[in-house]
Amino acid sequence: MTFDFDALAIWFSTFKQTTPTALSRGEYGVRAGIPRILAMLARQGVKATFFTPAHTARNFPASLEAITSAGHEVAAHGLLHESPVGLPIEEERDLLFRSLDELEAVTGKRPRGYRSPAWDLSDNSIALLEEAGLQYDSSMMANDFQPYFARTGDKMTDDKITFGVNSSVVEFPVAWELDDYPYFHWSARPYNAGLRSTEDVFGSWKGEFDTAYAENGVFTLTCHPEIIGRGPRVAMLERLIEQMRARDGVEFLTMEEAAKKFKAAFQSEEIG
Ligand SMILES: [Zn+2]
């Protein structure tokens, strides 16, 4: 279970919507979403990973305290929810290290993983995550339920792909099918229909989980307090968690724990 705790940063930085009502949609994640999600996770005894921009941590320390004191993991998600794509390497390095320093100052613990706020990386990102000592990333889509080691140094031309080498960074792939935003988020700019019924989404996610279970995989769901935080949606997620737990052998792990397990099993093997 992963939650991207974007708060106001996504509206301010990514959507460039800075009017009071637009920004208040981010504040909804703080006021309504986080308490409801934390209560549900506590009822279910599930520990989750919260990818958090430094901007959110700096401005909402009480929410961060509630997250960490419940035993959840806080991981990196940009300084102000910015995309690393197109940044000069020095600037990307500076943003990454500043975000890690700020999260550590608020939570008392150095983050172990990263999710790009854009779900997109620069050619330098994986090498920088390695340089920063991070264990995992969760931003790419080369598989669905099997993690893999992210590569550095891939070269793509019109006629040939030359693959680089595996880094030490474990990639937990993401998918739009497993993100609450495309299903639920309504926006006129750009037009995004959203507002799907919870039953529809439950069906999609349950079907995806059944595949992950059959293939002994890692099911990574990306939710956002400002989106999933409404009552019926949290109730749907709780029902999904209950149905997952009913299956033999299912474990709920933070990404840090899952990365550790993956590395213990596969560190010495060549993953193509
Ligand atoms: Zn985000």
Going from the Cα of 115 to the center of ligand 1, the distance in angstroms, rounded, reads: 8
Six-digit token pair at 30? 């703080």
Provide the 3-class DSSP secondary structure of residue 1: coil
Band of pLDDT at residue 209, cut at 50, 70 and 90: very high
Query: Has residue 107 been placed in a domain?
Result: yes
Query: Has residue 94 been placed in a domain?
Result: yes
CATH number where 24 lies = 3.20.20.370
Going from the Cα of 176 to the center of ligand 1, the distance in angstroms, rounded, reads: 13
> What domain range includes position 61?
2-266
**Residue 269: predicted pLDDT:** 56
Residues 6 or more apart in contact with residue 56 via CB below 8 angstroms: 5, 6, 7, 8, 9, 63, 64
Domain count, the chain: 1
Going from the Cα of 268 to the center of ligand 1, the distance in angstroms, rounded, reads: 33
Going from the Cα of 264 to the center of ligand 1, the distance in angstroms, rounded, reads: 29
Residues 6 or more apart in contact with residue 62 via CB below 8 angstroms: none
Going from the Cα of 161 to the center of ligand 1, the distance in angstroms, rounded, reads: 30
- Over the stretch 73-97, which tens digit does the pLDDT of each residue have? 999 999 999 999 999 999 999 999 9
Residue 272 has pLDDT above 50, yes or no: no
Q: What percent of the chain has a predicted confidence (pLDDT) above 90?
A: 90
16 or 209, which is more confident?
209
Query: Has residue 272 been placed in a domain?
Result: no
Query: Has residue 213 been placed in a domain?
Result: yes
Residue 238 has pLDDT above 90, yes or no: yes
Query: Has residue 271 been placed in a domain?
Result: no
